[in-house]
Structures are given as C-alpha cells and as structure tokens.
Amino acid sequence: MSMPKMHNTPAGRVFDVFNFILMGIIGIIMVSPFLYIIAGSFATEAELTRRSFFIFPETFTLTAYQYIFSTDTFTRSILVSIGVTLVGTLVCLFFTFSMAYPLSRKTLMGRNFFMNLIVFSMLFSGGMIPGYIVVKSLGLLDSYWALILPIAINPFNLIIVKTFFQNIPIELEEAAKIDGCSEVGIFWRIMLPLSKPVLATFALFYAVAIWNDFFSALLYITDSAKWPVQVLLQQIIILSQAQLGDAASTSANFVEPPDQSLKLAVVVVATLPILIVYPFLQKHFAKGMLLGSVKG
Amino acid sequence: MEGLKAQSVETVEPGYNAVKKGSKAEVKSNISNIQRLKRDKWLYLLLIPGLAYFIIFKYLPMWGIVIAFQDYSPFLGVFGSKWVGFENFIDFFKNPDFFRLLENTFILACLDLVFFFPAPIILALLLNELRLQAYKSVVQTFIYVPHFMSWVIIASITYIFFTTSGGVVNEIVSLIYGKEINFLSSPEWFRPLIMGQIIWKESGWGTVIFLAALASVDKEQYEAAIVDGAGRMRRLWHVTLPAVRSTIVVLLILRLGNFLDTGFQQIFLMSNSLNRSVADVFDTYVYFVGITQGAYSYSTAVGLFKAIVGVVLVLGANKLAKKMGQDGIF
C-alpha cells in the first residue's frame, strides 16, 4: 500500500531511512541460514572448518551429493519421500475435491449436518494416542499409507474448495443438464476442468504438507528402511551419528557417520523441493490463508 | 455461507425449480425427501470417501477418548478393557510431573504471548511504512521463506549453527566471550532458542493477515489526518492501529484458546536428555508416556485434560472479547 502524498518531516525522513535499512537486515537475516546451508553443501570440509560463515564457497565440490546418491539409506529415503508425496497429493486431492463438490450443492439433503461434522472436527480432536490406536488397529503401522491417509483432508482446504465450487455460475450447470449431462458428468466434465487452477494450487498445498510432514512418520513408521527424508534428517543431525549407526546397522546397509558438508547437503535435499515451488507458494498460500481465515 | 441466491432461470427439474423460487418449506412440499435422495444419489456417492475419512480419522479417535477412563490393553480392546473411572486423571494430578509440565507449558505459552505474538504486528506495521513497493515485496519474499520449511529443517539448521563443534554462533561467542556456550543442551538456553526459532519461522508469514487488514484502510482517512495536522506517530496510533485492532483481537482469542499448544514438533526436536527438565510439556509428555512407554490410557487422560482446558480457554477468551466490545469469533 502506498501512502498518500504528504510532506515528510526531518524526523520522518530519518525514520524512513532507518526502517529501510532495518527491514533489509531482517530480510537478510531470515534467509541467510538457508544460503549458508546451500553454499556449505558445495564446499570442501577444509573450508567449512576454516570459515565460519559464507554465502559462496571458494572451491566448489559435489562430493557430499555424490556420497548421498551413492548410499542406499539416503537414496531410499529420498525416493520414499518423493513417492509418498506424489501418491499422497493425488489421494488428498481426490478426497478433498470429491467431498467439496457435493457439499457445495445447496439442495443436498443433510448438507448442514455434514458441514457441522467438519467444523466440529476442527475445534476438538481425539488427540495423539486415540489417533495412534486407530491407525494401529487398521494395520497401517509401518505402511506408507499411514503417512497419507490420516492427513488426507485438511478441513480448511476442503472449505475453501467448497466455496470455490459454490461460486461457479449455476447457469453452466443448468446448460449441461439441458444437454443431458448427469451429476457425475457435470462434476467430471464441467466442474473439474473449470477448477484446474484451483486443483494446481491445492496440489501444491498438499504436496508441501506431505513432504514436510515429520509427525506421521515419527508416530507410525518404525522401520528405518521406510523413513522419509525428514526423519532421516532428524536422525543424522539432531540425534547425532551414533544413533544413525544403530539404526542403519539394523538395516542391510550401514552408513558411515556423515561429515559436515554431508549434513548440509541432506538439509538442502530436504529443502530444495520447497524452494523450487516457493514462488508459486508465496502467491497462492497468502490468498488461501486469507480466504481460510475469512471462512473459518 | 448461504450467499449467492440462485437467480431464477429456465430449469430442468422440478426440485431445483422449487428451491430457486423460495423457501425451504416450499422444497419440502414439492418433492419428498426420498425423491431428493434419489435425485442426488451421485452426489452422495461422491461424498462417501470424504465422509469415511472424517469418521475413521477424526470421529473414531474422539470416541477412542473413552480409554482415558479405562485400563486399556491393546489385547482386550476398548470393549474388553476394565473401566477405572477417573483413576488415570487422579494419578496424573498426584504425579510430580504434573506441576513441572504445567509450569513448563505455562512459561513457554507466556513467553510466546509476550515475544512472538507482537512480532508479526510490529513487522507488518514497519513493512507498511516502506515507501518503495518493489523493495517491500523483496523483503516479503525473504521473510516468508522459513514458514514453508518443516520443523525438522528449522531444528537441523539450529543444531548446525549452535553446535559446540564448529557451529557459526559458537565460533562468534568464543571470540567475544572466551569460551563456548552449550546452547543445545543447557536448560537455561532452551526457552530462548524456542522463542528465537518461532520468531524466525513464523513472524514473517504472520504479517500476511495484518498487511491485508492494513491494505483495506481507506486512504482518505490518512489524508484527513494529515489535513488535521497529525504527524506520523499520531496517524499510526489513530488510523493504522484501529484498522488492525479487530484482527489482533481475533488472533489473540485464537492464541489464548490454543494457550497450551506448545508446538509438539518444535519442542520434541529441540529437547534432549539434558534439557528435559524445562523442555517437557503436555504434548511431548503424551508422546513419551503413550507411544514410547505404551501407557495408552494414562496418556490419553493427559491429552484429554489438556483438550478440555483448551476448550474452556477458548470459550472464556471469546466471552472476554465480547465483554470488551469486540466481536469475538463465534
């Protein structure tokens, strides 16, 4: 928002300059850790020990990445994360959109009841342990589905998609009806094609949520061969190497304790997909959040 | 939600026609419920997967709360386990852990309210004062980044920066202070680290909602204030702040309602055996006692206690807001 034209007092001008610099510093401070991590992952061990902070490595090396992609533990968990994210996104979209459409039809009997069911589940939840017991009794422990199904619908997203369907002009639907289109036909041939941009946006939302999800894997996956990247990251950096040694020795392939650049490279691998989609995220998430806050 | 009254146009089916003409009563008199179910059978079919999701993953766990009043054994199941009334709750209140958890949770929640809650507001107000739009969007692009990273990444980066074995922060600290500080495993540094992390991760993103509220301020109000001779501070105080006041109140209510929600992932990732005395909060306690030690009933009771306090808090905060002349959230 630009301010209306006004004459600025000297104090105001000082403030402007100060504010300009302060905002710049805050912005740089907030991204610099990521820049260091990326730079460090391409640097040599010697440089990492010698220099405490840098944004550009002096000597550029891919050793850390070569190591990552040559060991089973890393490649496997990266593949697990990619696979779960891809399948999970499709599943989440299916569940969300197939439920949002009927709920957007005002003539649907029981619509208010279903909506209340959803809203109540946003206010009160059974908690960690009952949720765990449900997943366990479904036999989903140590299954990749445990990383997808319990978070298949985000109620906020569901309500936003419902509102979107609601705002599609009714005439389109009626024209299709006159042409002899069935309800399913309307959903499939009219509503879904119209909602392509919305589908893309929510695909992004869900993909990021699933990629970043650590909680589900912590609760439901104990087999180290099925760890997604987030858990591997926790094992390597936060729980230190000893624990990784334990975990890895139970699986077929033992991983040597990682050195500094390797740690940074793993962080980059876990971060990169998010950074790649970031330009789209920034644009759509802000819109989605504002919509959600109005509706919710 | 019931906006968008459909305009009356040529229609195909009597059911739809009736709705467009008028009230719900009219619908009922025109077609029976059975006809409506039949007409919408495909819609109900579409509804099934989503409904199944809510029943299985949201409402089944809610029903599962009954194990808090049982001595639940996975082999006997919910139906076979013995009922013990409030025993699990009494055990918890008698446990010395209870006051430690309450204290840790309470302190973190208060720190959060004092240090983190105002951060996005201040940041948004300062961003709003930037004259150069292009510069403003660059800063926004930068400060939103951490929000999209997982807590594991945030915690990992914190470990990498604060570790005593070659972490950037400790290298600087030892230059100034002469020796290194073990930030990651000393109890007195746990809370500052948690606050620092959340401010880094979420304060930038938190500005989105305030910036939207600020953008909706009528520019004429500023012009009028200038004509009246209001300086920069007075414009901020009398025009800008009132514009975001209701947003602040709503977020404050939501925050008070979630007062006991100390982000599980963050605390879990930052706690270790050395700082556990200050790091243990209700959520992590439920995890350790429930999942790792298998005390399902007891930990469900702890979780339920926390959830009930949460509901009471949100209702109380909402009432308080209404008393203060604000709208509240429901």
Contacts B293 to A, Cβ<8 Å:
none
Give the type of residue at A103: L
Handedness of CA B321, B325, B326, B328 (dihedral sign): positive
pLDDT at B215: 85
pLDDT at A291: 61
Q: Residues A75, A32: one domain?
A: no
ipTM over 0.90: no
User: Which of B57, B212, B300 is closest, CB to CB, to A127?
Assistant: B300
Tell whether the model's pLDDT for residue B138 goes beyond 70: yes
Contacts B47 to A, Cβ<8 Å:
98-99, 102-103, 114
> What is the gyration radius of the CA atoms in chain B, in angstroms?
27
Query: How many Cβ pairs closer than 8 A exist between chain A and B?
Result: 288
Q: Residues A31, A138: one domain?
A: no
For B178-211, write each residue's pLDDT tens digit: 888 889 988 999 999 999 999 999 999 999 889 9
State how far the Cα of A156 lies from the Cα of B263, in Å rounded to an integer. Answer: 19
User: Which of B10, B46, B148 is closest, CB to CB, to A187?
Assistant: B46
Among A62-76, B228-242, B288-302, where is mean pLDDT lowest? B228-242
Q: Residues A123, A222: one domain?
A: yes
CB contact under 8 A, B19 and A3: no
| Residue where one domain finishes, among candidates A61, A81, A111 | A61
Tell whether the model's pLDDT for residue B27 goes beyond 90: no
Residue extent(s) of CATH 1.10.3720.10 domains in chain B: 88-151+189-323
State how far the Cα of B152 lies from the Cα of A214, in Å rounded to an integer. Answer: 7
The mean pLDDT value of chain A amounts to 85
| Residue where one domain finishes, among candidates A20, A41, A61 | A61
Which secondary structure element, helix H or strand E, spans residue B70, and what is its range? Answer: strand B70-71
Q: With CA atoms as reference, report the closest residue to B281 among B294, B297, B295, B265.
A: B265
Q: Residues A156, A25: one domain?
A: no
Mutation site for B-interface testing, chosen from A1, A85, A114 by largest number of B Cβ within 10 Å: A1
The mean pLDDT value of chain B amounts to 84
Among A191-205, B29-43, B269-283, where is mean pLDDT lowest? B29-43
CB contact burial B25-38 (16+ within 10 A = b; e otherwise): eebeeebeeeebee
Tell whether the model's pLDDT for residue A70 goes beyond 80: yes
Rounded to an integer, the average pLDDT of B6-14 is 38
For residue A126, give the 3-state DSSP assignment: coil
| Residue where one domain finishes, among candidates A61, A80, A102 | A61
CB contact under 8 A, A30 and B53: no
Q: Residues A47, A112: one domain?
A: no
Classify residue B8 by its DSSP letter: P
CATH topology of domain B88-151+189-323: MetI-like fold (1.10.3720)
Rounded to an integer, the average pLDDT of A122-142 is 91
Structure tokens at B191: 């809370």
State how far the Cα of B27 lies from the Cα of B169, in Å rounded to an integer. Answer: 69
CB contact under 8 A, B145 and A237: no
Classify residue B62 by its DSSP letter: H
CB contact under 8 A, B49 and A184: no
Percent of chain A with pLDDT strictly greater than 70: 88
A191 or A289, higher pLDDT? A191
For B144-171, write each residue's pLDDT tens digit: 999 999 999 999 999 999 988 778 888 8
Structural domain boundaries enclosing A175 = 68-295
Q: How far is B61 from chain A (nearest CA, A)?
A: 5
Residue B82's beta-bridge partner residues? B71
Q: Residues A132, A210: one domain?
A: yes
Q: Residues A172, A32: one domain?
A: no
Structure tokens at A138: 């479904």
CB contact under 8 A, B42 and A184: yes
Tell whether the model's pLDDT for residue B284 goes beyond 60: yes
CB contact residues (below 8 A), chain B span 190-249, against chain A = 200, 204, 208-209, 212, 214-215, 217, 219, 222-223, 226, 231-232
CB contact burial B128-155 (16+ within 10 A = b; e otherwise): bbbeeeeebeebbebbbbbbbbbbbbbb
Tell whether the model's pLDDT for residue B5 goes beyond 70: no
- CATH number for the domain spanning A191: value is 1.10.3720.10
In contact, A230 and A81? CB cutoff 8 Å:
yes
State how far the Cα of B202 lies from the Cα of B205, in Å rounded to an integer. Answer: 5
pLDDT at B232: 80
The total number of structural domains in chain A stands at 2
Q: Residues A138, A202: one domain?
A: yes
pLDDT at B18: 41
DSSP per-residue letters across B170-232: HHHHHHHHSS---TTT-HHHHHHHHHHHHHHHHHHHHHHHHHHHHHTS-HHHHHHHHHTT--H
State how far the Cα of A10 lies from the Cα of B243, in Å rounded to an integer. Answer: 26
Q: Residues A86, A139: one domain?
A: yes
For B256-265, write each residue's pLDDT tens digit: 877 777 789 9
Which secondary structure element, helix H or strand E, spans residue B305, and what is its range? Answer: helix B296-323
Which secondary structure element, helix H or strand E, spans residue A199, and what is its range? Answer: helix A196-212
State how far the Cα of B265 lies from the Cα of B270, in Å rounded to an integer. Answer: 9
Rounded to an integer, the average pLDDT of A9-14 is 83
Structure tokens at A10: 């000297």
B73 or B117, higher pLDDT? B117
CB count, 10 Å around CB of A95?
22
Q: Residues A76, A128: one domain?
A: yes
CB contact under 8 A, A16 and B129: yes
For B213-222, write each residue's pLDDT tens digit: 888 888 888 8
Which pLDDT band, with edges at 50, 70 and 90, does A93 fall under? very high
Rounded to an integer, the average pLDDT of A31-36 is 94
Contacts B215 to A, Cβ<8 Å:
1
Q: Residues A38, A135: one domain?
A: no
pLDDT at B123: 96
Q: With CA atoms as reference, report the closest residue to A218 among B183, B105, B286, B59.
A: B286
Q: Residues A12, A43: one domain?
A: yes
